[in-house]
Amino acid sequence: QVQLLESGGGSVQAGGSLRLSCTSSGHIDSTYCLAWFRQAPGKEREAVAAIEDDGRPYYVPAVKGRFTVSQDNAHDTLFLQMETLKPEDSAMYYCAASYGRWCGGTWSLGAEYAYWGQGTQVTVSS
């Protein structure tokens, strides 16, 4: 059974940095797409970034150049390094996983992911 566990959220001032982690267990497929989504109160869930098993990253325009998605060599942990944080980055951040496929053009669609973590809160104050 696949399990995802996020950590690393917290409260920072605008311009600060945070690094989120997502530890996965229970998967055996070497082909996958791992992603970060976020949801702020009263707003729709939105994609943030994703990475394929070969390391190819994907970003939404709002975070490109500020956030970096990566994974460890064992491919068990997904990271999101967030720099120059803005108040509008405040949200609950979730990691998601889809196995047996690459990210492709639909990487930003939540329906593409079968597995989700519980989320970690990021709060950026101005």
Which residues make Cβ contacts (< 8 Å) with residue 3, sequence separation at least 6? 24, 25, 26, 115
Question: For residue range 51-67, what is the model confidence (pLDDT) as tens digits?
Answer: 999 999 999 999 999 99
Question: For residue range 87-120, what is the model confidence (pLDDT) as tens digits?
Answer: 999 999 999 999 999 999 999 999 999 999 999 9
Question: For residue range 27-47, what is the model confidence (pLDDT) as tens digits?
Answer: 778 899 999 999 999 999 999
